[in-house]
Amino acid sequence: MSEYSPTDLLNALAAASRGLSERKEEVNRLNVFPVPDGDTGTNMSLTLESVVANVAQQPEGASKAALCKAITTGALMGARGNSGVITSQIFRGLCEGVEAADTFDVAALDASFARAQEVAFQAVRKPVEGTILTVLRDIAQAARHVHKKRFELDDALDHLVSEAYASVQRTPDFLPVLRENNVVDAGGYGLALILDGFVAALKGREGALADELSVARIGAAPKVAIELNDDWEGSEYRYCTEFLVSSDELDVDAARDFLPTMGDCDLLVGTHPNFKVHVHTNRPDQVLEWFLTHEAQVAEVHIHNMQLQSAERTQRLASESASEPAPYGFVAVASGEGNAKILASLGIDEVVSGGQTMNPSTKDLLEAIGRVNARRVIVLPNNSNIIMAAQSACELAESDCAVVPTKTLPQAFSAMFGFSEDAALDENVAAMTEAFAEVRTGEVTHAVKDSRDAHGNPIAAGDVIGIADGSIEAVGSRIDEVCMRLLEAMGAEDADTITVLAGADLSADDEAALLTLVEERFDDAEVESHRGEQPLYPVIIAVE
């Protein structure tokens, strides 16, 4: 049985709405797309406020069906902007999933988010990766995971929040415009804040897990830097047009065929008799005329000039554009484009190219530290041969600087989990060092000469070898074979998480086959893979 009553859930929803309203400007500031669509934070918060207001009108003791209808209707009627309309569809799907469940438990979470994903994706004609829809899909996948693994409800809720923020951090990997402007997706961040606020209120936790614009403070905790985007390229459409439609006879297919002829970002959501229309167009008058001539009543018409909004935002950000240094900055060493992207997504400001076969100099590291606009800089060398150079660079740096002595990339990933922007420099070094202490790293490569492994067994030049924290623990002729032996030697049987970084020499097919082997052999561990694209080492493995 669920320990949360309908009243608990509704109160948590109201708290999430208040939390988003208080932080809407954080979300608005992220929305620096070349084609802005109003203010995402404002639009999403207005949508939630409409939900709460509609639910508040329900009588005490209202049925679950009545409450779900109030939420769905309130979201639809209050939806503002593209993000608000999509949010309304997420709530519709969540309600449909909850309404079909007997209790609020982990199974209900799975069903609700699965339905929310289905409804929201159906509403968007051309879903784009790296947006709120991507974050929703990742939350739904996390809900399936906690259901499959039989999490306790409270642990499941926290896991969903963590995965939501992690997904937000990945959005720049999908959308170049986010990566270019050094931001995450505004709608995805808004959704994570809603979920975080809901869970925090439900569990009686003080404050949301993300207590500032750091997006994934519960995990990687990188701050989100916001840069000015003053090259508004625009689409060919100027006006964000949205309104409510009331009609028992509306031909939905005809309306959905008509809207793309008038512009882009077109959405028609709802069911007879209530619909919400959203479209970017140069002729909002013609859009309205079409619905009026098709026996529909129109209300709550909002037309925004996106070009003017973009100019205002550009001016505002320009005035805010800081020369003020950030409290903290990070420099890390890595080889491989994929690994550099992962580090950047974790909040690393400067990634210096280098590693096992190409150690950067003290000068290289010092120059990288100098490029970081921060009062304090932390360096992660990620190789034992680079630690001393990093320490020398820190001694010469003008800013306060310290080294967290990571010897591998996986250690650096985990070290970022120990960072706190509120802590002193020495406290962060200690916490980050402790955070990676339990990480075991395995590296798979080819022997360049005859040798012996850690147990005295012979190695021939060209053999595939597996190195666990500096010790050669596996030898063979196949990469997958050596990886499995290496994992055994690293104690993966008891691991919670296994991470695979695929190198430049490992094909996508071989990566997929290796993951299948790992998942089947170590089925109790969470297994994930990333394209690190590092040279010389087809596979790097982390076991935690």
b/e code 64-83 from CB counts within 10 Å (16+ = b): eeebbbbbbbbbbbbbbbbb
Which of these ranges, 2-11, 58-67, 94-103, 440-449, has the smallest mean pLDDT? 2-11
Name the maximum alpha-carbon separation found in the chain: 86
**pLDDT on residue 213:** 31
pLDDT tier, 212 (very low <50, low <70, confident <90, very high otherwise): very low
In the CATH hierarchy, which fold is given to the domain comprising 440-543? Hypothetical Protein Tm841; Chain: A;domain 3 (3.30.1180)
Q: SS3 of 183, please?
A: coil
**pLDDT on residue 214:** 39
Alpha carbons 236 and 282: distance in angstroms, whole number: 8
Sketch the domain layout of the chain as residue ranges: 6-203, 239-313, 326-435, 440-543
Tokens of 101: 């469940």
3-state secondary structure 141-172: HHHHHHHHCCCCHHHHHHHHHHHHHHHHHHHH
**HSE value, Cβ hemisphere, 13 Å, CA-based, for 206:** 0
**pLDDT on residue 31:** 61
More confident residue, 362 or 95: 95
Q: SS3 of 438, please?
A: coil
Kindly report, residue by residue over 460-488, the tens digit of the pLDDT: 989 999 999 888 999 999 999 999 999 99
Which of these ranges, 122-131, 306-315, 373-382, has the smallest mean pLDDT? 306-315
Kindly report, residue by residue over 65-106, the tens digit of the pLDDT: 999 999 999 888 887 777 888 898 999 999 999 888 888 999
Alpha carbons 60 and 231: distance in angstroms, whole number: 53
Taking all residues of the chain, what is their mean pLDDT, rounded to a whole number? 85
Kindly report, residue by residue over 219-254, the tens digit of the pLDDT: 333 333 333 333 323 456 888 888 999 999 999 999
DSSP 403-429: E----SHHHHHHHGGG--TTS-HHHHH
**pLDDT on residue 318:** 57
Angle at alpha carbon of residue 25, lines to 320 and 42, rounded to 5°: 135
In the CATH hierarchy, which fold is given to the domain comprising 6-203? 1.25.40
Kindly report, residue by residue over 175-190, the tens digit of the pLDDT: 887 777 677 888 999 9
Alpha carbons 146 and 157: distance in angstroms, whole number: 9
Of 18-32, 200-214, 525-539, highest mean pLDDT: 525-539
Alpha-carbon torsion (408, 409, 414, 416), positive or negative: positive
**pLDDT on residue 231:** 31
Mean pLDDT of 295-319: 73
Tokens of 356: 């096992």
**pLDDT on residue 207:** 53
> CB neighbours of 42 closer than 8 A, spacing ≥ 6?
24, 28, 80
Does the domain made of 239-313 have the CATH classification 3.30.70? yes
Q: SS3 of 261, please?
A: helix
What is the chain's alpha carbon radius of gyration, rounded to the nearest angstrom?
Answer: 26
CATH for the stretch 326-435: 3.40.50.510
Alpha carbons 40 and 46: distance in angstroms, whole number: 10
Alpha carbons 497 and 441: distance in angstroms, whole number: 12
Kindly report, residue by residue over 97-145, the tens digit of the pLDDT: 988 888 899 999 999 999 999 999 988 777 788 889 999 999 999 999 9
Mean pLDDT of 476-504: 94
Alpha carbons 85 and 77: distance in angstroms, whole number: 9
